Amino acid sequence: PLTFKADAWASVPEGLGLGDRYADVVQGLREGFDLEIPRITSTAIASNAPSANIHRSALREIILKERQRGAYIGPFQNAGDVQDVLHNAFQSMPLSLIPKPPDKFRLIQNFSASVGGSKATNDLIPRSWATTWSTFRQIIGNILSLPADSEACTRDVDSAYRLLPVHPSQWPALVLRTEEGFFIDTRVSFGIGPGTGVFGRVGEAALDIFRARGFGPLRRWVDDILFFRVRQRSIAGVNAQRSQLSESLGPQPFLRRGAKWWVDGEGRRYDESYEYPLRASTGLSRLDGWHYGDEEIEILADDLGLPLHKPTPWSSIFTYAGYVFDIRERRAGLPASKAAKYGADLDIWLSSPTHRLEDAQRLLGRLLHASPVVLDSARHLTRLIGFVNVAIRSNAHARAERHGGAPLDEDVRWWRERLNGEEVWRSIAQYAPRDIKLYVDASSDWGIGIWWDGRSAAYRLRTDWRS
């Protein structure tokens, strides 16, 4: 069943002055979200990925769970039956199963695949759905702006995508083929292009509702929500900072490549508008001196039908987005489990003289994740980035083996010394804003000028710079 209470999502934001801002969310919860997939004009049925056949029992369990949830209509034994129900042609994209440690699987439908002469479903969607992302930089920015005795905790939205209904006009693009027959999926699917943005829109609405009630600061990465809280005595000081920051931001968010930011006059990006001040809750449980806590979160989430789970205790030290943060000590790091996992990948790399593109890309992704908390890491990534770029430009098969070379192995060994299975910590004090009195001006007709600490320099553009 759908847990979101659409009527509450209409009345609660309206009472907080957010009704117009999130009217589309209310409409989506009531009628189903329009993913903007155009009408399917010819039926196309893809073969599923090998993983769907290898893990048949896991797929059957997922199908049963989704049927019990009310997400699937079916099964239908032939394509004609599906077309009769939909009154339309349909597309069924390949299914695959992705392992979810320790022993579960996630069902993914590959909407980026082309089937026969039909375009991939994701290629039919006309726009990207922009949403906010709370990056490492935003989280440490929050920490540095809060008193050292502040705390944080996390919650997940349970089965986030699968709680969102899809408008019936979109169902022809969401058909699954299984050994039991065809099913029509009526919820947002993993793999559909707008999925992250659709849930992101709901997530943004939820966070603004919490913020308008005085909770926060709040951050979000897809369905993972990060709650900060402060002592009641600190509210005035934090609110003064928030008000000043809000005034420095542009009135409308900046949208680019599926991301949404608010930008200040100096080009810094923020994942909220900072328009809402923190407020102390009035419940009896707030005799502990904090401005809100678990009770207030749970009451408001229940009012909305927002299924928050996996709660973590309030603490100065918390884990989020694969990092560990320490508010009191102003530091951030990599958990020991992550350091050990990444170290094992480095060992695999060093054990062979040749490497595949996909292995290099996976290793690069992990080292990029670790790089914000590993001092002097940037210059030890350039050779691996070069390896990946050369491999991509060669147009060779992704599984072709290539030599990395001694300089690249030297960088990998440098990383291995630092990712040795223990926690990795780094001070975040250097991220605090500082005015270094450096001024720059540029002209596309002449060049660039720099002034710093009483000294200046000018650099003229090359005549062929535009080419």
Q: Dump pLDDT digits (tens) for 291-305.
A: 999 999 999 999 999
pLDDT band at residue 409, thresholds of 50, 70 and 90? very high
**pLDDT surpassing 60 at residue 285:** no
Q: What is the pLDDT of residues 352-405, one digit of tens each?
A: 999 999 999 999 999 999 999 999 999 999 999 999 999 998 877 777 899 999
Q: The tokens of 175 are what?
A: 């058909």
Distances (CA, A) of 332 to 77, 118, 312: 54, 47, 18
The larger pLDDT score, comparing residue 285 to residue 166, is at 166
Question: What pLDDT score does 286 carry?
Answer: 66
Same domain, 154 and 168: no
43 and 152 together in one domain: no
Confidence at residue 34, expressed as pLDDT on a 0 to 100 scale:
96
CATH of residue 51: 3.10.10
pLDDT value for 119: 83
Q: Are 230 and 147 in contact (CB under 8 A)?
A: yes
Structure confidence by residue, pLDDT tens digits, 62-74: 999 999 999 999 9
Q: Is the pLDDT of residue 465 over 90?
A: no
Are 310 and 368 contained in the same domain?
no
In a domain, 190, yes or no: no
Mean pLDDT for 114-131 is: 84
* The predicted structure's pLDDT at residue 394: 87
Asked whether the beta carbons of 426 and 333 are under 8 A apart, the reply is: yes
457 forms bridges with which residues in the sheet? 450
Q: Which pLDDT value is given to residue 327?
A: 98
Do 166 and 188 touch, CB atoms closer than 8 A? yes
Q: Residue 12 is which amino acid? A: V
pLDDT digits (tens, 9 = 90+) for 174-211: 999 999 999 999 999 988 999 999 999 999 999 999 99
Q: What is the pLDDT of residue 100?
A: 86
Burial 271-305 (b: 16+ CB within 10 A, else e): bbbbebbbbbbeeeebeeebbbbeebbeebbeebb
Instruction: Judge if 256 and 381 occupy the same domain.
Output: no
Model confidence pLDDT, tens digit, residues 225-264:
999 999 999 999 999 999 999 999 988 899 888 889 999 9
Helix, strand, coil proportions of the chain in percent (round to 5)?
40, 25, 35
Query: 44-45 and 91-92 as β-strands: parallel, antiparallel, unpaired?
Result: parallel
Instruction: Number of helices (H) and strands (E) in the chain: give both, helices first.
Output: 14, 23
Q: What is the mean pLDDT of residues 14-31?
A: 93
User: Taking residues 101-127, what's their average pLDDT?
Assistant: 87
Tell me if 199 is assigned to some domain.
yes
222: nearest Cα among 132, 143, 304: 132
Task: Report DSSP letters for 107-140, one per residue.
Answer: EEE-TT--BTTBPPHHHH--S---B----HHHHH
Task: Give yes or no: residues 213 and 343 share one domain.
Answer: no
Instruction: Give the largest Cα separation in the chain, rounded.
Output: 79
Query: What's the pLDDT score for residue 397?
Result: 76
Q: At what angle do helices 336-350 and 357-370 cross, to 10 degrees?
A: 150
Q: Residues 41, 65: one domain?
A: yes
Q: Is residue 419 part of a domain?
A: yes
Q: What is the predicted pLDDT for the residue at 175?
A: 96
Domain end marker among 288, 314, 332: 332
pLDDT recorded at residue 291: 95
317 plus 342 within the same structural domain: no
DSSP 296-314: HHHHHHHHHT--EES----
Q: Per residue in 23-45, pLDDT tens?
A: 999 999 999 999 999 999 999 99
Of 292, 286, 309, 321, give the one whose Cα is nearest residue 214: 292
Q: Does residue 273 fall inside a structural domain? A: yes
Q: Residue 292: helix, strand or coil by DSSP?
A: coil
Rounded to an integer, the average pLDDT of 208-224 is 95
Average pLDDT over residues 317-333: 97
44 and 71 fall within a common domain = yes
Residue 309 included in any domain:
yes
Residue 327 included in any domain: yes
What mean pLDDT, rounded, does the chain reach? 92
pLDDT of residue 159: 87
Contact 391, 401 (CB under 8 A): no
Range of the domain at 99: 23-127+164-185
Same domain for 78 and 155? no
Q: Structure tokens of 349?
A: 């790399």
Asked if residue 90 belongs to a domain, the reply is yes
- Spatial distance between the Cα atoms of 424 and 333, rounded to a whole number of angstroms: 5
Which residues have CB under 8 Å from 132's CB, separation 6+? 200, 204, 220, 253, 259, 260, 261, 271, 272
**Based on the structure, what is the number of domains in the chain?**
4
